[in-house]
Structure 1
Amino acid sequence: MSTTQSDRLRELLEPLVGAAGLDLEEIDISRAGRRRQLRIIVDSEEGATLDACAELSRAVSAKLDETDAMGEGEYVLEVSSPGADRPLTEHRHYTRAVGRLVRFQLNEEGGELVARIRAVDGEGLDLEVPGVKGRKPKAHRIAFADIARARVEIEFNRKAAEPEPASGTAGTDIEIDTEIDTDKKEEEA
């Protein structure tokens, strides 16, 4: 039975990732010119912080240096958390998305459904389908077997009264300085 380089890397790195309190979501090896690029995607219930990714990157780099898992050639290592638009494929992904709006592609010509995840169990999801044109939202149940694809929708205008999902990144508040330096503007005039 042959194993791929990704499988061998997963076996090697999963204990390191687990020891850091993270889940190994994906390993991707690709070409970037003459070099190879090794992308490792990690996550956790609380999310993977920048500091956790940096610390894990150092540990992974040391482990790869002491083994021949990447071979002799040069490679670039990237350790990161999944993006906001990553597909939901595992039970834990749906659990982490409770409270979020998700776009579902359904099996068997079931079409598309956009709904907020309210609860997750072993068989499926309890959803809230937003009301259209002033109508009230409706409860909906969907089985995991009926889902072909699912992806979290990015919401820019989410109302403050709605429950916020748990955030995985500390210190993400951004402050934008819109103050204009009027003295400088007058000097230019």
Structure 2
Amino acid sequence: MAVRPSPKKDTSSDYRKNAQRAETAAQTQRLKDYLAPTVAGEGLFLEDLEIRTAGVHRTVHVTVDLPETETGGVSLDRIADISRVLSDAMDQDPHDDGRPYSLEVSSPGVSRPLTEPRHWRRNIGRMVLVTPVSGDAVTGRLIDADAEGITLVPELPVKKGMKPKQGEKIHLPFDGIAKGRVEVEFAHLEDDPAGEDANGFESTAEEA
């Protein structure tokens, strides 16, 4: 009678890594929930939070964005202001374990992927490149984003030097979109904060 091999057990090293990842994920979610109201109180939206550890030191990277009702990007002054507010909030965190940390605050650039409905709503009026789940990629002007998906006016390919032509507007459901991103236009450069780096981020850092 054949004997089935026993399932492979975690080594002590794997166990520690898995436990550390689970602990970091829990800490990240707790800190995100704790800081989100503070960010909202400053008129911004907490887009993302990441914790990176090196020994006992932590680097907390917070990404903030404007609310859906505002256009443009987060100014450098607002980044500096929210950095100070978040630093104070973290110093007063009743559940913090006291380990030293560095706080980095940045805003997402136009090159970030459009992965959530709010990302699309924030970029109505911009030129976007959309790759559907099936079919060819479409470049067009985003004119609406509702609860179900997006509506855009596609730009039709023309010969070099000719004025771009627009096709009939189309609607794509969110579940039919594989990925999307904003296409940078010179006319919209003034919408983005001055001083962003090549990745579209401007950040400040504080040590605690």
SS, match of residue 78 in structure 1: strand
What RMSD, in angstroms, separates the aligned Cα atoms of the two structures? 2.6
Structure 2: stretches of 5+ with no match in the other structure: 1-22, 196-208
Cross-structure match for 1:82: 108
Measure how far apart 1:92 and its partner are: 2.1
Cross-structure match for 1:42: 64
d(CA) in 2 for partners of 1:114, 1:70: 46
What amino acid sits opposite 1:78 in the alignment? E
Superposed CA deviations along residues 89-137 of structure 1, whole A, max 9, x for unmatched, are 2222112211212122222x33422222022222222211112125731
Q: 2:127 aligns with which of 98, 101, 114?
A: 101
What amino acid sits opposite 2:28 in the alignment? S
Measure how far apart 1:68 and its partner are: 5.6
Cross-structure match for 1:5: 27
Superposed CA deviations along residues 120-159 of structure 1, whole A, max 9, x for unmatched, are 2222222111121257311222111211221112234x5x
Cross-structure match for 1:143: 173
Structure 1: stretches of 5+ with no match in the other structure: 159-163, 174-189
* Structure of greater relative contact order (alpha carbons < 8 Å, 6+ residues apart): 2
Asked whether 1:154 is paired with 2:189, we answer: no
In the alignment, is the contact (CA less than 8 A) between 1:30 and 1:38 conserved in 2?
yes
What amino acid sits opposite 2:176 in the alignment? D
d(CA) in 1 for partners of 2:171, 2:35: 37
In the alignment, is the contact (CA less than 8 A) between 2:109 and 2:192 conserved in 1?
no
SS, match of residue 28 in structure 2: helix
Measure how far apart 1:39 and its partner are: 0.9
d(CA) in 2 for partners of 1:111, 1:5: 41
Cross-structure match for 1:24: 46
Measure how far apart 1:7 and its partner are: 0.8
Indicate the larger mover: 75-84 or 60-69. Answer: 60-69
Cross-structure match for 2:90: 64
The 3 A distance-change label for structure 1 pair 71 and 114 is farther
Q: Sequence identity of aligned pairs in percent?
A: 36
Measure how far apart 1:32 and its partner are: 5.9
Measure how far apart 1:23 and its partner are: 0.7
